[in-house]
């Protein structure tokens, strides 16, 4: 009946029924307002050191494989100078700065980040390859939010620890990863400064740019010299930093492998340390969930930031009765994901951060297929140059598959089914990791039951990859120890009088 | 008869927010404006609609903006049943359809017989499309079969006229009800499902339309039938219209980017689309004084 009416309609109205193939024109974000240097020194004691070509490395633009800028690889004496500057500041000006004054500095940093948000977002996308939609809407606003949040605590520490008097630890050695460069910097620096510590921070070698631009901002803020020092470099620089005898605390975010090495190297030193390491999060989807929204949740859980997210929901566990429907909906949704230029406002998935990471992802997918997985890739076209990987799902995998056990750190989702709630919990927990999981159900009681059984630092219900400065974040098992964010995040940067060191 | 499908309102809003970040520029914007005009049901539904008012509206439909002769005309004009004959007499040689609201619009609070007669009258006057309202009172008190039967009976008396079923989502209270009403209307024979009468606030919103589009997608999946969608009321700017088109594309695909399957029910949207059109063509914004208010 309706078919007939529709055809009547199209003959009656001659302009109807010209179906068009409507695609979105390019919508590039302007880069004309950002400037950065071709080469950078190290930021030590309030100013940049002289750049030395012989002691430098290049940062690659992941969209074309060409050099974007060069920075200095900090050697042992550079790291020594940075720690010395931080120690001097801790003993001197910063040590006598009141909580109220510290909060003023942090508020100023937060506001200036907001004012320069667009600039930082563009730089973050240029350097790391993440889509501008995410750096603009998530990374930079959230980084500012962490500074705002910890600015609020700086003069209220006594209330955070009733009956105790929190004291700063001293010089904090901080090492951050390449997936959320400025945001991880904020997670590290904001609570450290709020508690009265000084900092030597090493950004990841592929994404130093926003940390170096952040130094400009510190200068404008008028932060005393030596309170924050930025040393760029790769693994060797990181090793000098964590093995330095004059540091009082280590905060590391990165891979579980490197985390273990650091833990071994400090085993004899009684150093307070926090680790935020890898993950293999499960996305548990029950048959009574709102499926369309859950599919959107899956997209957000695994394709956010090209899957370079330690808490990514990389294992979908879906109840058998709805598995077929969910996979079908997901495949349809994936057809509308746009992989391309990170600076285009319509890009959903940008460039993989580095050639090495791209090869790792390719290797894992190949292994998955060799072990019997069926691979479905998003059909849209990929740019011809640069490091890109399409959103991918692997079905026909099981708990014993390599791709289910190991962290891929790319836009690759494995899909397994389950029959009962307990089976889902069992599968979700059956991993050395324990960073984050998600539960999708329309039933509140099930959320509490399953949530209490999952062994992970974060459990999201009916959402995924949500971050907030007030909420603690961290891992169980091999996903790390200690918490960042919220009041728990302050614990990691103070010693309390009654026991002289909590961690 | 109809399953209640869980809908997560927060998730729907997040999806909508993400759709709204799509940046539609240059050629793709021009295409979208062209589509929006061709999909428009130019509407006047006031108790004060005189013959003169309807004549004006029809003239606007025929000649949206005389300075640009290549501008496409709208899909339909939408009027009350007693203005159908007049509209027909003006538009009979054009491609523009005549839509009429019926079934004791906007409340639907009358007997079935009167609703059927209302539809028959509009069809006999020459309406090509009938925009009916569902009985929200019956729906909310759980009398789903009654709502279903009414739609099915009205569909019968429509004959060859196209049936759009108005759910009046502003009165349904939840997105789950919107989904259920959509499923029910499609099963009962609707050719289009439509959000609102325009008489209740809120009228069309993006979350509601997204839920209806998902219902259409799933219905197509199971039956193979393509049902149309018409958001009505509250869409005033080109920017909003383009966001709706993005939502249609990313939920249903390009097939639905066609006036036979998607319509905007709007009165003031036309001028904004025309203004943007002129801007894209000439690079300058024209003063609003150059666009006729009808």
DSSP A255-314: -HHHHHHHHHHTTTTT--EEEE-----EEEE-TTS-HHHHHHHHHHHHSGGGG--TT---
Find out whether A490 and A169 touch, Cβ atoms under 8 Å. no
Q: Which chain B residues are Cβ-neighbours of A26 within 8 angstroms?
A: 25-26
Measured between alpha carbons, how far is A113 from A135 in angstroms, rounded to an integer? Answer: 13
Measured between alpha carbons, how far is A284 from A315 in angstroms, rounded to an integer? Answer: 8
Regarding beta strands A480-481 and A273-276, do their DSSP bridges make them parallel or antiparallel, or are they unpaired? antiparallel
Decide if A24 and B73 are in contact by the 8 Å CB cutoff: no
Sign of CA dihedral B172, B173, B179, B183: negative
Ranges of beta strands (E only) in A146-289 are: 166-168, 171-175, 198-202, 228-230, 249-253, 273-276, 282-285
Of B60, B47, B52, B72, residue with least CA distance to B294: B60
Chain B residue closest to A332 (CA)?
Answer: B251
Q: Which chain A residues are Cβ-neighbours of B161 within 8 angstroms?
A: 5
Supply A479's token pair.
Answer: 């996903």
Number of other residues whose CB lies within 10 A of the CB of residue A288: 15
- Each domain of chain A, given as residue ranges in start order, spans 39-277+479-496, 282-468
Measured between alpha carbons, how far is B232 from B245 in angstroms, rounded to an integer? Answer: 14
Find out whether B196 and B203 touch, Cβ atoms under 8 Å. yes
Least reliable range by pLDDT among A4-18, B106-120, B161-175: A4-18
The catalytic position among B164, B194, B272, B294 is B194
Domain annotation covers residue B273: yes
Q: What are the DSSP calls for A300-369, one per residue? A: HHHSGGGG--TT---EEEEEHHHHHHHHHHHHHHHTT--B--TTBTT-SB---S-HHHHHHHHHHHHHHH
Domain A282-468 annotated CATH 3.40.309.10: yes
Q: Which chain B residues are Cβ-neighbours of A296 within 8 angstroms?
A: 11, 14-15
Decide if B24 and A24 are in contact by the 8 Å CB cutoff: yes
Q: Which residue has the tokens 């009358």?
A: B110
pLDDT for res A176 = 98
| Dihedral-angle region of residue B103 (phi above 0 means left; psi in -120 to 50 means alpha; beta otherwise) | left
Measured between alpha carbons, how far is A369 from A394 in angstroms, rounded to an integer? Answer: 8
Least reliable range by pLDDT among A106-115, A242-251, B38-47, B57-66: B57-66
Alpha helices in chain B (DSSP H): 9-19, 26-38, 51-62, 84-91, 112-125, 136-140, 144-158, 175-188, 206-223, 238-252, 269-282
Find out whether B159 and B187 touch, Cβ atoms under 8 Å. no
ipTM of this predicted structure:
0.94
Chain B residue closest to A3 (CA)?
Answer: B225
Q: Which chain A residues are Cβ-neighbours of B5 within 8 angstroms?
A: 290
Of B148, B215, B210, residue with least CA distance to B4: B215
Active site (catalytic) residues of A: 276, 310
Decide if A22 and B6 are in contact by the 8 Å CB cutoff: no
Q: Which chain B residues are Cβ-neighbours of A5 within 8 angstroms?
A: 160-163, 191
Number of other residues whose CB lies within 10 A of the CB of residue A449: 15
Strand, coil or helix: A217 = helix
Measured between alpha carbons, how far is B208 from B175 in angstroms, rounded to an integer? Answer: 7
In a mutagenesis test of the B interface, which of A3, A8, A9, A338 is the best target, namely the one with the most B β-carbons within 10 Å? A9
Chain A residue closest to B158 (CA)?
Answer: A5
C-alpha distances in angstroms, A139 versus A214, A342, B166?
14, 14, 42
Measured between alpha carbons, how far is A260 from A277 in angstroms, rounded to an integer? Answer: 9
Decide if A19 and B257 are in contact by the 8 Å CB cutoff: yes
Measured between alpha carbons, how far is B103 from B121 in angstroms, rounded to an integer? Answer: 10
Find out whether A319 and A291 touch, Cβ atoms under 8 Å. no
Q: Which candidate from A296, A345, A462 shows the least CB-CB separation from B23?
A: A345
Number of other residues whose CB lies within 10 A of the CB of residue A371: 16
Decide if A23 and B24 are in contact by the 8 Å CB cutoff: no
Mean pLDDT of chain B: 95
Q: Which residue has the tokens 């940046």?
A: B23
Decide if B25 and A20 are in contact by the 8 Å CB cutoff: no
- B26 vs chain A: nearest CA distance in angstroms? 7
Decide if B10 and A462 are in contact by the 8 Å CB cutoff: yes
CATH architecture of A39-277+479-496: 3-Layer(aba) Sandwich (3.40)
Contacts of residue A306, Cβ cutoff 8 Å, sequence gap at least 6: A129, A130, A349, A350, A351, A352, A353, A389, A410, A411
B294 confidence band (pLDDT: 50, 70, 90)? confident
Of A15-19, B63-67, B222-226, where does the model show the most confidence?
A: B222-226
The catalytic position among B41, B128, B131, B272 is B131
Q: Which chain A residues are Cβ-neighbours of B185 within 8 angstroms?
A: none
Decide if B28 and A288 are in contact by the 8 Å CB cutoff: no
Burial class (CB in 10 A: 0-12, 13-18, 19+), B102: buried
Strand, coil or helix: A463 = coil
Decide if A21 and B254 are in contact by the 8 Å CB cutoff: yes
C-alpha distances in angstroms, B200 versus B107, B196, B281?
10, 7, 36
**How many inter-chain contacts (A to B, CB under 8 Å) are there?**
130
Measured between alpha carbons, how far is A149 from A197 in angstroms, rounded to an integer? Answer: 17
Chain A residue closest to B250 (CA)?
Answer: A336
Contacts of residue A100, Cβ cutoff 8 Å, sequence gap at least 6: A154, A155
Decide if B95 and A14 are in contact by the 8 Å CB cutoff: yes
Supply A81's token pair.
Answer: 């100078």
pLDDT for res A5 = 39
Q: Report the share of chain B in percent with pLDDT over 70.
A: 100
- A284 pairs with which residues across the strands? A317, A439
Q: Which candidate from A6, A290, A300 shows the least CB-CB separation from B191?
A: A6
Domain annotation covers residue B3: no
Find out whether B90 and B59 touch, Cβ atoms under 8 Å. yes
Find the CATH number of the domain harbouring B65: 3.20.20.70
Chain B residue closest to A137 (CA)?
Answer: B21
Find out whether A161 and A112 touch, Cβ atoms under 8 Å. no
Give the number of residues written for chain B. 294
Decide if A336 and B21 are in contact by the 8 Å CB cutoff: no
Q: A-side interface with B, Cβ within 8 Å?
A: 1-6, 8-10, 12-27, 133, 137, 288-294, 296-297, 300, 336, 345-346, 442, 462-463
Of A448, A399, A450, residue with least CA distance to A422: A450
pLDDT averaged per 10 residues in sequence order, chain A, 503 residues:
37 46 92 96 98 96 96 98 98 95 98 98 97 98 98 95 91 98 98 98 98 97 98 97 97 96 91 96 98 98 97 98 98 95 97 97 97 90 94 97 97 98 98 98 97 98 97 96 96 79 42
Contacts of residue B80, Cβ cutoff 8 Å, sequence gap at least 6: B45, B49, B100, B101, B105
Q: Which chain A residues are Cβ-neighbours of B21 within 8 angstroms?
A: 133, 137, 345
Supply A275's token pair.
Answer: 């680790």
Q: Which chain B residues are Cβ-neighbours of A3 within 8 angstroms?
A: 225
Decide if B22 and A288 are in contact by the 8 Å CB cutoff: no
Chain B residue closest to A8 (CA)?
Answer: B160
Domain annotation covers residue B1: no
Chain A residue closest to B94 (CA)?
Answer: A13
Domain annotation covers residue B4: no
B186 confidence band (pLDDT: 50, 70, 90)? very high
Rounded to the nearest 10 degrees, the angle between the axes of helix A421-429 and helix A444-453 is: 40
Measured between alpha carbons, how far is A129 from A351 in angstroms, rounded to an integer? Answer: 5
The catalytic position among B29, B60, B88, B230 is B230
Q: Which chain A residues are Cβ-neighbours of B11 within 8 angstroms?
A: 290, 292-294, 296-297, 462-463
Chain B residue closest to A299 (CA)?
Answer: B15
Decide if A16 and B191 are in contact by the 8 Å CB cutoff: no
Chain A residue closest to B211 (CA)?
Answer: A292
B71 confidence band (pLDDT: 50, 70, 90)? confident
Radius of gyration of chain B (CA): 18
- B139 vs chain A: nearest CA distance in angstroms? 22
Domain annotation covers residue B2: no
| Cα B265 to chain centroid, rounded | 4
Q: Which candidate from B10, B189, B260 shows the least CB-CB separation from A9?
A: B260
Decide if A17 and B245 are in contact by the 8 Å CB cutoff: no
Measured between alpha carbons, how far is A13 from B283 in angstroms, rounded to an integer? Answer: 31
Torsion, Cα B167 B168 B171 B173, to 10 degrees, reads 50
Of B63, B199, B55, B217, residue with least CA distance to B133: B199
Decide if B73 and A15 are in contact by the 8 Å CB cutoff: yes
- B236 vs chain A: nearest CA distance in angstroms? 22
Q: Which chain A residues are Cβ-neighbours of B219 within 8 angstroms?
A: none
Measured between alpha carbons, how far is A299 from A304 in angstroms, rounded to an integer? Answer: 7
The answer to whether residue B68 scores a pLDDT higher than 70 is yes
Measured between alpha carbons, how far is B88 from A216 in angstroms, rounded to an integer? Answer: 69
Number of domains making up chain B: 1
Find out whether A475 and A457 touch, Cβ atoms under 8 Å. yes
Measured between alpha carbons, how far is A365 from A375 in angstroms, rounded to an integer? Answer: 8
Q: Which chain B residues are Cβ-neighbours of A16 within 8 angstroms?
A: 38, 75, 95, 258-260
Measured between alpha carbons, how far is B153 from B172 in angstroms, rounded to an integer? Answer: 22
- Prediction pTM value: 0.94
Q: Which residue has the tokens 């930093």?
A: A241
B164 in active site: no
- A495 pairs with which residues across the strands? A167
Task: Determine what percent of chain A falls in helix, strand and coil, rounding each to the nearest 5.
Answer: 40, 15, 40
Measured between alpha carbons, how far is A493 from B171 in angstroms, rounded to an integer? Answer: 53
């Amino acid at each position: 009946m309706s078919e007939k009416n529709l055809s009547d309609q199209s003959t009656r109205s001659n302009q109807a029924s010209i179906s068009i193939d409507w695609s979105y024109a390019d919508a590039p974000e302007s880069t004309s307002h950002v400037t950065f240097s071709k080469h950078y020194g190290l930021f030590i004691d309030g100013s940049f050191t002289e750049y030395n070509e012989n002691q430098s490395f290049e940062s690659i633009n992941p969209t074309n494989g060409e050099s974007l800028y060069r920075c200095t690889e900090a050697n042992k004496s550079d790291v020594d100078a940075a720690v010395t500057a931080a120690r001097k500041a801790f003993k001197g000006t910063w040590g006598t700065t009141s909580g109220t004054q510290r909060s003023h500095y942090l508020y100023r940093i937060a506001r200036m980040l907001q004012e320069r948000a667009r600039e930082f977002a563009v730089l973050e996308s240029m350097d790391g390859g993440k889509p501008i939609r995410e750096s603009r809407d998530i990374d930079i606003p959230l980084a500012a939010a962490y500074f705002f949040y910890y600015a609020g605590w700086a003069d209220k520490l006594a209330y955070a620890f009733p009956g105790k008097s929190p004291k700063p630890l001293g010089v904090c050695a901080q090492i951050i990863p390449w997936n959320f460069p400025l945001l991880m910097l904020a997670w590290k620096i904001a609570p450290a400064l709020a508690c009265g510590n000084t900092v030597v921070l090493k950004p990841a070698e592929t994404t130093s740019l926003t940390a170096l631009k952040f130094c400009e901002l510190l200068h404008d803020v008028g932060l005393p010299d030596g309170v924050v020092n930025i040393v760029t470099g790769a693994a060797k620089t990181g090793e000098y930093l964590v093995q330095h005898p004059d540091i009082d605390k280590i905060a590391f975010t990165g891979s579980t492998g490197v985390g273990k090495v650091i833990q071994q190297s400090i085993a004899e030193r009684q150093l307070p340390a926090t680790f935020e390491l890898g993950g293999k999060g499960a996305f548990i989807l029950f048959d009574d969930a709102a499926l369309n929204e859950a599919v959107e949740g899956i997209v957000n859980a695994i394709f956010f930031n090209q899957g370079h997210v330690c808490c990514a929901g990389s294992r979908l566990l879906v109840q058998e009765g709805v598995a077929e429907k969910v996979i079908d909906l997901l495949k349809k949704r994936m057809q509308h994901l746009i992989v391309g230029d990170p600076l285009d406002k319509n890009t959903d998935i940008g460039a993989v951060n580095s050639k090495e990471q791209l090869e790792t992802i390719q290797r894992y997918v190949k292994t998955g297929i060799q072990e019997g997985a069926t691979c479905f890739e998003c059909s849209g076209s990929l740019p011809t140059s640069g490091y890109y990987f399409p959103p991918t799902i692997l079905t026909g995998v099981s708990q014993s598959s390599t791709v289910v056990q190991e962290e891929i750190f790319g836009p690759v989702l494995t899909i397994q089914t389950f029959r009962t709630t307990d089976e889902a919990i069992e599968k979700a927990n059956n991993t050395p990791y324990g960073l984050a999981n998600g539960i999708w159900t329309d039933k509140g009681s099930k959320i509490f039951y399953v949530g209490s059984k999952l062994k992970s630092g974060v459990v999201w219900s009916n959402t995924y990859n949500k971050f907030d400065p007030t909420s603690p974040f961290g891992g169980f098992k091999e996903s790390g120890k200690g918490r960042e964010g919220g009041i728990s995040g302050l614990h990691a940067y103070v010693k309390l009088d009654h026991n002289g060191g909590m961690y | 008869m109809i399953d209640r499908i869980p809908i997560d309102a927060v998730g729907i809003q997040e999806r909508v927010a993400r759709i709204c970040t799509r940046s539609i520029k240059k050629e793709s914007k021009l295409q979208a404006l062209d589509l929006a005009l061709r999909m428009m049901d130019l509407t006047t539904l006031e108790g004060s609609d005189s013959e003169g008012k309807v004549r004006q509206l029809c003239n606007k439909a025929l000649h949206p903006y005389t300075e640009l002769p290549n501008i496409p005309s709208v899909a339909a004009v939408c009027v009350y049943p007693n203005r159908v004959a007049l509209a027909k007499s003006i538009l009979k040689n054009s491609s523009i359809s005549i839509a009429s609201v019926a079934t004791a619009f906007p409340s639907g609070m009358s007997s079935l017989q009167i609703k059927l007669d209302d539809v028959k009258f509009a069809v006999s006057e020459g309406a090509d499309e009938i925009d009916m309202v569902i009985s929200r009172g019956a729906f909310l008190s759980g009398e789903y079969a009654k709502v279903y039967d009414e739609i099915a009976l009205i569909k019968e008396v429509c004959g060859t006229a196209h049936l759009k079923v108005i759910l009046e989502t502003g009165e349904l209270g939840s997105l789950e009800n919107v989904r259920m009403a959509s499923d029910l209307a499609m099963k009962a024979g609707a050719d289009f499902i439509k959000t609102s009468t325009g008489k209740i606030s809120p009228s069309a919103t993006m979350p509601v339309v997204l839920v209806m589009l998902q219902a259409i997608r799933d219905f197509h999946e199971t039956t193979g039938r393509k049902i149309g969608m018409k958001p009505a009321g509250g869409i005033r700017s080109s920017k909003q219209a383009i966001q709706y088109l993005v939502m249609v594309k990313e939920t249903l695909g390009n097939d639905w980017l066609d006036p036979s399957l998607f319509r905007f029910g709007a009165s003031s949207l036309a001028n904004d689309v025309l203004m943007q059109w002129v801007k894209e063509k000439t690079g300058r914004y024209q003063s609003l004084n150059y666009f006729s208010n009808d």
